[in-house]
Structure 1
């Protein structure tokens, strides 16, 4: 049994792992030798197609439908992962929603409730379960969590999506608190904060051309690509980041 554990591939959970930044993270981690559990909320056929390509690269990939805005569904992910893999070594709280782009006075409070449910409550639930499994003082073998935040957490996103920015600032605070509370028990928690990146999230928010519109105001004069974010995540989950916890890597082109 000990030999099996020593040679076993790392297992990482990625919420929203079939699209956009989540897909890029999935592909990068499989290339680094991870097996994966990925969740999706919609477009299950697309998620399965991504999983098949990852399996063809040699990974064991578990695909789980989950609406992370539903607390009960969010709480079901890690038990399913444990049933399939027996254990896991990492969690990437990637899935997130912005709400509609627009001014603060026009926002819908119920939509904002959904933003906080997905962007904050789900990561709380999943991080709590993950740490309970990984912490060495509870019999675990240690592990790492990466929270995908946003550059908006420090700009406030005026006239764009202030509740989204608020939700990501809260996620940043969770990273700091968890890193300090569970560092003594072998669990590292870090954040990656993308700036404007070429994904479908902008279309979902009602402004599909947002990356091109914002590019002139970005010091590097372009939006980012999902794989550029994925590289930072893979680093934080890898051995070269073994003494990094409570950090926030900003992948925002200089913003």
Structure 2
């Protein structure tokens, strides 16, 4: 029997890469997208294949519909199936609301929200019973920021993740009859390079005392939650927002 296929957006590093590696260990084949770090994508593919996973990666900006369509077309061509989608691609940067420009908002919502919608749409076309699919699972990567608001840091980013939470809850009900479960994982402060990319490399050290566990989480800890939501162990779980935030 062919291994199940998981598609991960923004999979070349951070939570996406950790999820891909854990999925490979658990018997999945992997297709993932990357935006600009081709060398990281190539290195990850080598590691995944060493774990026995058939692997393919595709450059894609998920806010561009043509890129998403190509990503799914490549998935069809190389694997001929789709069992799970992880909507992981996302961006952020620190800025007060008073300083935000419209072009920045358009880019942020385009990648963090619209990209997730387009990818979910294409996944549903392949997984839904009514489309000849065999069902499947979608996990959206949200953030604890969606319920905290992230004042003085990422109010715009928090708003995109609030949209992802609503999307998750609504889509779960819309496609449950199609054999598709939809959930979200909401990471808290996680030790990845996203903080540096957002403008503050020392953010974890500044905020870790506000976490009840007094530390940042790891990408691998988030990946464990994602893979649980994909597994049969969570077969009665859909429309759930799972916090992975050290009690924050």
Alignment RMSD (CA, Å) = 0.9
Match of 1:195 among 188, 209, 215: 188
Contact 2:12 2:37 survives alignment (8 Å): no
| Other structure's SS at 1:253 match | coil
Residue 254 of structure 1 corresponds to 247
Q: Give me the whole-angstrom Cα distance separating, in 2, the residues matched to 1:47 and 1:150.
A: 24
**1:133 counterpart = 2:126:** yes
Q: Give me the whole-angstrom Cα distance separating, in 2, the residues matched to 1:218 and 1:71.
A: 38
Q: Give me the whole-angstrom Cα distance separating, in 1, the residues matched to 2:207 and 2:97.
A: 19
Unaligned runs of 5+ in 1: 1-6
Match of 2:39 among 45, 50, 53: 45
Q: Give me the whole-angstrom Cα distance separating, in 1, the residues matched to 2:215 and 2:157.
A: 22
Match of 1:212 among 188, 205, 219: 205
Q: Give me the whole-angstrom Cα distance separating, in 1, the residues matched to 2:153 and 2:101.
A: 13
Q: How many residue pairs align between the two structures?
A: 248
Q: Give me the whole-angstrom Cα distance separating, in 2, the residues matched to 1:197 and 1:243.
A: 28
Q: Give me the whole-angstrom Cα distance separating, in 2, the residues matched to 1:136 and 1:70.
A: 27
Residue 90 of structure 1 corresponds to 84
| Other structure's SS at 2:85 match | strand
Matches within 5 A, 1:70-85: 70-85=64-79
TM-score by length of 2: 0.98
Q: Deviations over 1:67-98 (max 9, x none)?
A: 22323212321111011101110000011001
**1:25 counterpart = 2:19:** yes
Q: Deviations over 1:8-48 (max 9, x none)?
A: 11100001111001110001100000000011001101111
Matches within 5 A, 1:10-21: 10-21=4-15
Residue 215 of structure 2 corresponds to 222
Q: Please, which moves more after superposition, 69-78 or 170-179? A: 69-78
Contact 1:135 1:187 survives alignment (8 Å): yes
Q: Give me the whole-angstrom Cα distance separating, in 2, the residues matched to 1:105 and 1:72.
A: 33
Residue 231 of structure 1 corresponds to 224
**1:174 counterpart = 2:162:** no
Q: Give me the whole-angstrom Cα distance separating, in 1, the residues matched to 2:101 and 2:43.
A: 35
Q: Give me the whole-angstrom Cα distance separating, in 2, the residues matched to 1:142 and 1:14.
A: 17
Q: Give me the whole-angstrom Cα distance separating, in 2, the residues matched to 1:121 and 1:162.
A: 18
Unaligned runs of 5+ in 2: none
* Aligned-residue offset at 1:205: 0.8
Contact 1:71 1:121 survives alignment (8 Å): no
Q: Deviations over 1:168-214 (max 9, x none)?
A: 01011111111101101100000000001111111111101111111
| Other structure's SS at 1:222 match | coil
TM-score by length of 1: 0.95
Residue 146 of structure 1 corresponds to 139
Residue 4 of structure 1 corresponds to none
Q: Give me the whole-angstrom Cα distance separating, in 1, the residues matched to 2:218 and 2:12.
A: 15
| Other structure's SS at 2:30 match | strand
Residue 3 of structure 1 corresponds to none
| Other structure's SS at 1:121 match | helix
| Other structure's SS at 1:224 match | coil
